[in-house]
């Protein structure tokens, strides 16, 4: 399986480039059980460099524009791999689905 990106809303602002720093709102669920394992909606927006996230985010956010909403379907090999992430409830090689609102981007 390969990374699948769908633009639910196409943004009109600055575009995400490799290594950019982004501010986002997001929710992540495991594809197998459909259980939410992470979300920024209650805590507030998250800001991070694309160098600090799983490979699926590094690949999947490039080209997205501010103001957009994108859904990423990330195969396990581009997420947490064979080890999974037990503390987050993510199984080995589990496919993850994220919905991400891009609030801002800095190169």
Q: Which residues contact 40 (CB under 8 A, 6 or more apart)?
A: 24, 25, 26, 27, 46
The confidence score (pLDDT) of residue 1 equals 72
Kindly give the confidence (pLDDT) of every residue in the chain, 107 residues in length, as a single tens digit, with 9 standing for 90 and above: 789 999 999 999 999 999 999 999 999 999 988 999 999 999 999 999 999 999 999 999 999 999 999 999 999 999 999 999 999 999 999 999 999 999 999 98
Q: Which CATH architecture has domain 4-106?
A: Roll (3.10)
Cα–Cα distance for residue pair 105/84, rounded to 1 Å: 29
pTM: 0.94
Cα–Cα distance for residue pair 80/66, rounded to 1 Å: 27
Cα–Cα distance for residue pair 97/57, rounded to 1 Å: 11
Q: What's the half-sphere exposure (Cβ side, CA atoms, 13 Å) at 90?
A: 23
Cα–Cα distance for residue pair 76/84, rounded to 1 Å: 8
Cα–Cα distance for residue pair 44/25, rounded to 1 Å: 7
């Amino acid at each position: 399986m390969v990374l699948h990106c769908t633009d639910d809303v196409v943004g009109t602002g600055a575009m995400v480039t490799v290594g950019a720093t982004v501010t986002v709102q997001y929710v992540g669920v495991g594809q197998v059980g459909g259980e939410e394992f992470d979300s920024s909606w209650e805590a507030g927006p998250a800001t991070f460099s694309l160098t600090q996230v799983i490979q699926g985010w590094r690949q999947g956010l490039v080209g997205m524009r501010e103001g957009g909403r994108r859904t990423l379907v990330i195969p396990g090999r581009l997420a947490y791999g064979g080890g999974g992430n037990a503390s987050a409830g993510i199984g080995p090689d589990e496919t993850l689905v994220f919905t991400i609102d891009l609030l801002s981007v800095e190169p």
